[in-house]
Structure 1
Amino acid sequence: MDNFVPIHDSRFESSNEPIPTLKPESIYQRFFPLFKIGEKRRSRKPDFPDKVSTSYEKPKLSRASKQKQLDWQPVKGSQYKFSVYSAYSYNKTEVVIIATTKSQTKEKVACVFHFDNGQKIQTTIGKVETMGEHWGMMYAGTFIRCPLPISSDFTMPHSVSVTVINSNSSKVNGHVDQEATMLGNPLIIQYKSEEDLSNPPFNFSVCVLPTFNYNEVFHFLEWLEFYKLLGVRHFTLYNITIGPDTSCVLKELMSSAADSGIVVDVHPWHDFPIKKNSEIRSGPCGECGLSAATNECIYRHKGLSKYMIFVDFDEFIMPRSAQDYGEMIRSMDVMNKSVEIGEYSIRTGFFGRFRNNDELRVDMCEELKRKNSVFTYHVCKHLLMVKKSLREETILMHNDRSKYIVKPEAVLEGGNHHVIQLDSGYETLVAPPEVAIVRHYRFVEGFWHIPKNTSAVPDRISKSFGVELAKKAELNVLKTIPFDLIKFNVLIIEVYFYSEAEKTELDTLLTSNGYQFVKNIEVDKIYIHKSVSYMLDKTV
C-alpha cells in the first residue's frame, strides 16, 4: 500500500477540520479477506474485473461475445516495440486497429483475418498511420487500417492478427500457411452497423484516460455523482494502477450497475509496451500512452454513445445555467444552427486546492444540519465543488488545457486537449465561458498554469447544486463505512432525492449490517441498531 496515493494529505488542506477518511484495513478485510494488511502486492493488476458490461456490443458473434478486452499484445517480427490493443469496423471495407510502434515507421504489416465455421484464414496488406500527437518522439500511438477480405459466402471475419512483413514472411495476398495462426495477438473485431451509429444506447458517456496511482476515494465519489447528476450514464476507465480503496468502491459500483442504470467499464492498460516518458508523449506516466488511449476510447464509443466527454478525476465540466448536459448542448446547437458541431471545446479554469476554503459556501450546508441530515451535512462541507471556489483569474484559451465533448462518429482522430481531425461536414465550437467551463482542481501552487503568489477570484456554483450533489453522493459514501468496526445506535437518513431502487439498496445495506427499519417521518427513514432495539418501546 506504500505505492498508492493517500486518500487525504494534510499538506494540501487549509482547513483545520480533517476530511472524512476511510480505514484501508477495514476495507481490505471486507473485500479482500485473504490479503494481509501491510503486505506489498506482487502484481499491479487490480482485483476487480477488467470489464463489466458487454451486452451492447454488436454483432454478437459466437466467439466475440465470450471474450473480454485483452491487454496490449506484441506484434511479431518488428525490430521496435510494437503492440496492438483493439479492432473496430464501421463499414464493410476496413478494420481500424489501435496500436503503438515507432513514429513514422517504414515497416509494412499484414492483417491476418480469422473466420468462424472452420474457414481458412485470409490476409490483406495493412496501412500504418502515426497519430498526430507524437511530438517527434521515437514512439507514438498508431492506427493500422486493414482492408476487409471478401469471403466466398460473404461472411465477416471474427478476429484479426497483425504481423510485420519481411523477406521470409508467408505470402500475404489471399490465404496464408499454418504459421500465421501462431501470431499470438488475435483481436476480436467489434462491428458497428449504420443502425448502431444512428441509435446508440447512451446519450452521454465519460472517458477517463489511463489511471495511475489514483486513490482519492471521497473525491472520486463526488466526481462520479457530479457527472451522474448532469446526465452521464456510462463511464469508461483504463486501469494501470487504481488505488486499493477506489478499487473497492469500483467493485461495489460495478456489481450494482444493473440496478442503478449506470454502466462502468474498466479496461486493462498494464502491458502498454513503452514505459519511459523520454520515448513517447504519454502524460503523467511513461506507460499512459495518451494518444492511443484517447482514440481507443473514441472508436470504442462510435455507435455506443451519442456524446463522449473526456476528463480526468480532478476535472468537472460545469454548465453555468443549464441543468444538465443535454440542455447545455441544445443551447449551443441553437446558437449555431448553420453548422453541424462535432466537437464542443470547453475552456479550463484552475482552482487551487491549496487555497483557503470558501466559508460562505460551506455555510450553505448548514440547512442540512437543521433538517437533521447530519451525515449529509458532513459530506456536503467537504465537497471540492463547495469548499474550493477560488479560481485563477485567467480562463485558458481553446487548445490550452481545454477539454472537449464530441460526437464519436464525427471524429477521425482525437487529441488530449482538442480534436485533431473531424470528419467532413463537422466543425468545432468553442463554448463561451458564460455557457460552461472546466473546473480543474490542482494540488500544487506553481505547477503548470498556477503561478505562485497570485490572486484568485471567487467562482461559486449555485447553492442548490452543492446540496443536491451531497445528497446524491450520500448512498455511495454510506457503502464505504466499515460497519463491522463502527456502530451507530440510530440512523436518520433523508431519502427525498433517492429513487425507489436506491431506497431498496439503502434498506438492504443497513439491514445486512445489523440495523432494522423503524419508521418513516416525512422524507426521512429511521433505522436503529439491533443491539439497542429494546429502546424502541420507550422512544417510538
Structure 2
Amino acid sequence: MIHCGKKHAVVACIFILASFLICSSNNPWLQNSVTRKIFLHPTTVPPVGHLCRGKPAQNAITPLNDNRTFIISPYFDDRESKVTRVIGIVHHQDVKQLYCWFCCQPDGKIYVAKAKIDVHSDRFGFPYGAADIVCLEPENCDPTHVAIHESPYGNIDQLPRFEIKNRKAEPFSVNFTVCISTMFGNYNNVLQFIQSMEMYKILGAQKVVIYKNNCSHLMEKILKFYVEEGTAEIIPWPIDSHLKVSSEWHFMQDGTHIGYYGQITALNDCVYRNMQRSKFVVLNDADEVILPFKHPDWNTMMSSLQEQHPGSGVFLFESHIFPKTVSTHVFNISSWNTVPGANILQHVHREPDRKTVFNPRKMIIDPRKVFQTSVHSVLRAYGDSVYVPMDVALMYHCRLPLQGNLPRESLIRDTTLWRYNSSLIRNVNEVLYQTIL
C-alpha cells in the first residue's frame, strides 16, 4: 500500500502511482491470451489540429530503426476481429517485439498496442521473410494512421506514419487484377510482356499491378504507356537497397537475406491492396497466362467454377512449360522481329508431364477469403482450394525448357493461344506503334 498523508509528499506520491500504473500495464495477466495485445493509456495527446503526428512514410519499403524490420503497408482487416494488419519483412529470429502506435479519431489521442508478429511459414530457409504485424485496434477508435515501433515508449514525432488502407468498403472498381512480382534483373523481355498484358486484357483483366525493382530503358517506355492508359499500377520495389537479395527461391547458404527479391511479401501486399477494389486477383508472373479451354474468358470461367464450388475462394491452375527454344514459323511478324523478347504465338509446343515431378500452380483468388499467400498456394484462407482440371484451363508458361533434351516430336502441340491471335496481333501492333516502332 502507498500512503500519501502529507502535503509535501503529494508530488512524490503521484509520481510513484504513475510509475506503478505504467509498470502494471505491461503485466502479462492484463494481456489478451489469444491476441497477445496490450492497450496503454494515451502516451501523447497531440495539439489541436494535429491529430496524426510523425513523419509520413514516403516509400514502398520503410526500414525501422532496428534495421531488422521493414514496413510495406498497413491494412484494416475486420474479418475475424477489428485489427490493423501490417504487411512487412522481418528477421525471423531477431524481431521479437513490436508495437502499433494508433492515432485515434475523433479525439486525436495516441494509443499503443502490442503486435503479434506472424512470420509466414514459406520462408524457404532465408533469414528474412514476409510477416503480418497484427494489432488489435482499441475500442472506440477509428485510426486513420499507425506507426510501428520496437517499444511502447518514445517520441512519435520521430516515427514514420503510415495510412491504414481498406478502412472503407467500396464497390468493386474492377473484376480482375493481375499481380506481377517482382520485375528485376534489368528486365527486357519487351515483346512477351506486351503480349501478356494484352492477353490479360482480352481475358478480362482491367488492372495489372507490377512490383518493379528495375528494368531496361525500353521497358520503362512500355510501362509508362500502360500507366497512362490506366491498365498498369507500378509499385517501386527497391528491396536491394535494404537487404541482400537472391534471384533464387530457396536459400543457398550464400549470405543472402531474402529470396526472389521479396516476391512473397509483394504478393501478399498485392492481395490486401486489391481486397476492396477487385472481385478477383490473379497471381502470376509476366511470362505466364492462365488460358481457358472451355470458356472464352476469365469471367465466364470463374462464374462456372464458383457455381461448381460455392464457398471456395482459391483456384489453382497447373503450370505447363512452352519452351522458347522450340518455335513455329506461323505468325512470324516482321515488325516484331526488332523488339526484344519472345513471341508467344510462335511457341505452341509444351513439355509433357513428368510422373515424378509435381507441376507448380498459379492462382486466381477471391482476396477477401485469403489471409496469407505463398507463390504456388495460399497459406491461410477461408474455404477450400480448388485444383482446376486441365480440360478447363492451364497456365501457359513460355520460358527456357525444363526438359531441354526432349526431341521436338516428344512435345505436345497445343494451339489454344491461337484462338486469340487476331485480337492479340491487332492490340500488340497498336501498342508498338504508339511506343517504339
TM normalised by structure 1 equals 0.63
Q: Deviations over 1:255-291 (max 9, x none)?
A: 232xxxx3x2111110463214399858998561122
1:362 CA drift (Å): 3.2
Answer yes or no: is the 8 Å Cα contact 1:139–1:280 preserved in 2: no
1:405 to 354, 358, 364: 364
Determine the C-alpha separation between the residues in 2 that align with 1:398 and 1:307.
29
TM alignment of 1:256-335, pairs within 5 A? 256-257=229-230, 262=231, 264-271=232-239, 273-277=242-246, 281=250, 288-335=261-308
Determine the C-alpha separation between the residues in 2 that align with 1:462 and 1:281.
32
Q: Is 2:147 the counterpart of 1:161? A: yes
Determine the C-alpha separation between the residues in 2 that align with 1:202 and 1:252.
20
1:210 CA drift (Å): 1.6
Q: Is 2:101 the counterpart of 1:148? A: no
1:181 CA drift (Å): 2.5
**Mean alpha-carbon deviation: is it higher for 390-399 or for 320-329?**
390-399
Determine the C-alpha separation between the residues in 1 that align with 2:362 and 2:276.
22
Letter in 1 for 2:84: V
Match of 2:373 in 1: 414
Determine the C-alpha separation between the residues in 1 that align with 2:338 and 2:391.
29
1:344 to 311, 315, 321: 315
Q: Is 2:389 the counterpart of 1:432? A: yes
Answer yes or no: is the 8 Å Cα contact 1:346–1:430 preserved in 2: yes
1:464–1:139 distance in 2 versus 1, CA, 3 Å: closer
Match of 1:93 in 2: 82
* Count of aligned residue pairs for this structure pair: 374
SS in structure 2 at match of 1:71: coil
1:324–1:160 distance in 2 versus 1, CA, 3 Å: same
Answer yes or no: is the 8 Å Cα contact 2:284–2:362 preserved in 1: yes
Determine the C-alpha separation between the residues in 2 that align with 1:240 and 1:397.
35
1:379–1:206 distance in 2 versus 1, CA, 3 Å: farther
Match of 1:459 in 2: 414
1:469–1:397 distance in 2 versus 1, CA, 3 Å: farther
Answer yes or no: is the 8 Å Cα contact 1:98–1:143 preserved in 2: yes
Answer yes or no: is the 8 Å Cα contact 2:126–2:259 preserved in 1: no
Answer yes or no: is the 8 Å Cα contact 2:246–2:261 preserved in 1: no
Determine the C-alpha separation between the residues in 1 that align with 2:239 and 2:88.
12
Match of 2:38 in 1: none
1:352–1:69 distance in 2 versus 1, CA, 3 Å: farther
Determine the C-alpha separation between the residues in 2 that align with 1:461 and 1:69.
44
1:362 to 318, 331, 336: 331
Match of 1:480 in 2: 435
Determine the C-alpha separation between the residues in 1 that align with 2:247 and 2:420.
43
TM alignment of 1:73-92, pairs within 5 A? 73-76=62-65, 78=66, 81-91=68-78
Match of 1:241 in 2: 214
1:393 CA drift (Å): 1.1
Match of 1:26 in 2: none
Determine the C-alpha separation between the residues in 1 that align with 2:176 and 2:282.
7
Q: Deviations over 1:329-351 (max 9, x none)?
A: 12223333xx4121110001101
Determine the C-alpha separation between the residues in 1 that align with 2:198 and 2:251.
28
Determine the C-alpha separation between the residues in 1 that align with 2:397 and 2:419.
21
Determine the C-alpha separation between the residues in 2 that align with 1:245 and 1:270.
19
Determine the C-alpha separation between the residues in 1 that align with 2:183 and 2:374.
17
Match of 1:250 in 2: 223
Q: Deviations over 1:377-408 (max 9, x none)?
A: x899x973321111101179997421110000
Identity %: 21
Match of 1:33 in 2: none
Question: Which consecutive residues of structure 1, in runs of 5 or more, have no partner in the other structure?
Answer: 1-61, 171-176, 366-373, 483-540
Q: Is 2:200 the counterpart of 1:227? A: yes
Letter in 1 for 2:246: N
1:398–1:205 distance in 2 versus 1, CA, 3 Å: farther
Determine the C-alpha separation between the residues in 2 that align with 1:304 and 1:413.
18
RMSD: 3.2
Letter in 1 for 2:370: V
Determine the C-alpha separation between the residues in 2 that align with 1:314 and 1:208.
10
TM alignment of 1:113-132, pairs within 5 A? 113-115=102-104, 119-132=108-121
Match of 2:166 in 1: 191
Runs of 4+, deviation exceeding 6 Å? 282-285, 395-399
Question: Which consecutive residues of structure 2, in runs of 5 or more, have no partner in the other structure?
Answer: 1-50
Determine the C-alpha separation between the residues in 1 that align with 2:165 and 2:251.
26
Match of 1:139 in 2: 128
Match of 1:57 in 2: none
Answer yes or no: is the 8 Å Cα contact 1:103–1:136 preserved in 2: no
